[in-house]
Amino acid sequence: MQVAYPRADVRGIGAAPDGSFWAILAEETGQFDHGVLAHYRDGRWTTFPELTTAGDALDGPDGYAVTPAGSVCRIDGEGPTLVCVDPTLQISRTPVGVTGQVAAAADGAVWVWDYARLMRVPITVP
């Protein structure tokens, strides 16, 4: 498997139903101040630096969720907005009004939690 960066650290997020997977790539082994969201399919990496925060290499995949259809989503705290990249690698942004960690249920329901609460957001994702 060829990695997008020489000597990159790969931190797993999860596998999609089509056999592809999502990961955080850090540019160098042991580099903890920068990582990039990447999708691996058919022997090729596609990176999404515009969706990656500076802490992703350190925090790993905790802020991301793989949906039942193979998208990957995270909460962007600036909105707060649910940002998703679907299996065709298109980016969507949906205001959700809450920050925290995100999970997608088998039916596409979106759940967000923080230190004080767990709530279902009134949207679904593919």
Looking at residue 2, its pLDDT comes to: 55
Specify the pLDDT at position 30.
53
Print burial letters for 70-97: b (CB count within 10 Å at least 16), e (below 16): bbbbbbbeeeebbbbbbbeeeeeeeebe
pLDDT (0 to 100) of residue 77: 72
Residue whose entry in the numeric block shows the structure tokens 């329901």: 109
Strand order in the sheet with 91-95: 64-66, 72-76, 81-85, 91-95
Alpha-carbon gap, residue 44 to 54, rounded angstroms: 23
What is the predicted pLDDT for the residue at 67? Answer: 86
Position 1, amino acid: M
Residues of the chain scoring pLDDT < 50: 55-58
Per DSSP bridges, beta strands 64-66 and 72-76 are: antiparallel
> Domains in the chain, start-ordered, CATH in brackets?
9-124 (2.130.10.10)
Q: What are phi and psi of 63, to 5 degrees?
A: -85, 0
